[in-house]
Amino acid sequence: MSLIKCKVCGNHISSKLKNCPYCDYPVQNKSSKLPIGYLIIILFIIFAIVININNTSKTEAVSKVNNTNKLAYELATINKGGYVSETDITITRFDYLLRSLENKTFESKSEIADMTVKCQKILREKYGIEMKLLSIMEDLNDSIPSGSKVKYAEIAGVYIQQIK
Ligand SMILES: [Zn+2]
């Protein structure tokens, strides 16, 4: 038990009392510190939640970028026939071509990537023509005028017939 000074009448009273026995003023012993303690905990929880949300959205943004670049990276690897650095210029090029071709064709990016690889395989195995994946995709992209909507598979078929 400790003695404190009443703020109103100035008498020394026990800090454990709820009200001053002299003037009945409510004794503010330690209870005034409690809301601040709670406030700090609540702020800390809010802070932790905000940090967590921020990190989650960052992770999602990164994985979105990775998904878009993943195809381009795979194509760059096939194009080179081995490991390519993540900053390799062909990744950017494949990424651009995939976007461009997706706009001009009915196929999805992954379908476009698959068909280009198939196209290269047909040229190599059926006609003995060795062509870089990037060249095939550049040629196909050039052959489709912007603003048009075509089937990539058909364009690739015509391309093979012209090349062989
Ligand atoms: Zn008092």
Distance (Å, whole) CA 84 – CA 94: 13
pTM above the 0.85 mark?
A: no
Question: What is the per-residue pLDDT across 132-159, written as a single tens digit (0 to 9) for each?
Answer: 999 999 999 999 998 999 999 999 999 9
Measured in Å, residue 38 CA sits from the centre of ligand 1 at: 28
| Ligand 1 center–CA 34 separation, angstroms | 22
Where do the domains of the chain lie? 1-31, 32-163
Gap from CA of 39 to ligand 1 centroid (Å): 29
Q: How far is the CA of 15 from the centre of ligand 1 (A)?
A: 12
Cα first-last separation, the chain: 100
**Poorest-pLDDT segment among 54-68, 82-96, 127-141:** 54-68
d(CA 133, CA 107): 18
**Average pLDDT of span 50-61:** 79
- Taking only the tens place, the pLDDT of each residue in 23-37 is 988 876 555 556 788
* Per-residue confidence (pLDDT) for residue 92, from 0 to 100: 94
Residue 25 backbone zone (phi > 0: left; psi -120 to 50: alpha; other: beta)? beta
